[in-house]
Structure 1
Amino acid sequence: MNRRRRKKLTKSLAGAVLCDEGTRVDRLLKAGADPAAPDADGTTPLYAACVQGSAGIARSLLAAGAPPDAPSAGPGAEGTPLCAAACWGHTDTVRVLLAHGADPTLREDHGTGWTPLRWALRGPHPETADLLRAAIAGRETGGPVSGPGPTPG
């Protein structure tokens, strides 16, 4: 695929993520859009999906190769995908990120900012905080890092 076509597909991917169009996201990824490339402002598709709580789109981006811990740098969209999802209490999206290897102890701002757990506690989003605590404990003991499953309800 030529560079110009891939750039066009990737630009369309950013729009599809922002509009929460999962089918279109999947189609663009299959056609060759770069799941890790930031938009013109520096916002990554995965970060945008995580802010919106679009767990399905996040799963598609991660499966296509988006790095789970890559920071976004767009104005008002700085930080890691896991911190973005935790900040808004998007527990299902946090679960997807953890299942794909996101680091629940990673601080934003090159290691000087808040952790996902701190964002979840600030929310306050107790279910998200519990999931992150379980993931951190799992990392420390060598157990599962994705935390508990959905709460019956």
Structure 2
Amino acid sequence: MASSTKLHDAVRHDRCRLISRLVAEGTPVDAVDASGNSALFVAITDGPVSAVPYLLQAGADPNFRCSEGATPVHAACRRGSRALLQQLLECGGDLRLRDASGRTPQDWALGHADPQCRRKLVAFINSK
């Protein structure tokens, strides 16, 4: 199994100590899986988000372009998480980046199913 796959599996299974060990052993923190997604993107979209601080501390890029040009910032907006978005912005995340379809993170936030969450997240984005 490739080390990037191990890293992504560790993220999906909430194994933060393994994440730290793999990165310390040289696994590139922004390595992509077979779908073209970084471990940080996977943590935000598919996994328990407890891995996010470990990945950011290890140097994961919040602006890393994953599949279809989306970034972890886009993913946090789709998830509807202001807390995740704040963490990414504090680590240099950029709200101006567009995915391959030309959509910004705010556009992804507007796609959130919960209207109240959508309003709060868009208001937060507009305050930045």
Q: Establish whether residue 48 from structure 1 lines up as the match of residue 48 from structure 2.
A: no
Runs of 4+ in 1 over 3 A off after TM superposition: 52-56
Identity across aligned pairs (percent)?
A: 31
In the other structure, the counterpart of 1:103 is 94
TM (norm. structure 1) is 0.70
Question: Number of matched residues?
Answer: 124
Deviations 1:77-111 (A, max 9, x none): 751111111012022211111110010111111xx
Gaps spanning 5+ residues in structure 1: where? Answer: 1-6, 136-153
Return the alpha-carbon distance in structure 1 between the equivalents of residues 102 and 7 of structure 2: 29
Bigger relative contact order, structure 1 or 2 (CA pairs below 8 A, ≥6 apart): 2
Residue 93 of structure 1 aligns to a residue whose secondary structure is helix
Judged with a 3 Å threshold, the aligned counterparts in structure 2 of structure 1 residues 41 and 15 are, in CA distance, closer, same or farther, namely same
Gaps spanning 5+ residues in structure 2: where? Answer: none
Judged with a 3 Å threshold, the aligned counterparts in structure 2 of structure 1 residues 122 and 11 are, in CA distance, closer, same or farther, namely closer
In the other structure, the counterpart of 1:144 is none
RMSD, aligned α-carbons: 2.2
Q: Which has the larger radius of gyration?
A: 1
TM (norm. structure 2) is 0.82
- Please give the residue correspondences for 1:66-85 in structure 2 after superposition, counting only pairs within 5 Å: 66-73=60-67, 79-85=70-76
* Aligned-partner residue type, residue 100 of structure 1: C
- Please give the residue correspondences for 1:1-153 in structure 2 after superposition, counting only pairs within 5 Å: 8-52=2-46, 54-73=48-67, 79-109=70-100, 112-123=101-112, 124=115, 125-135=118-128
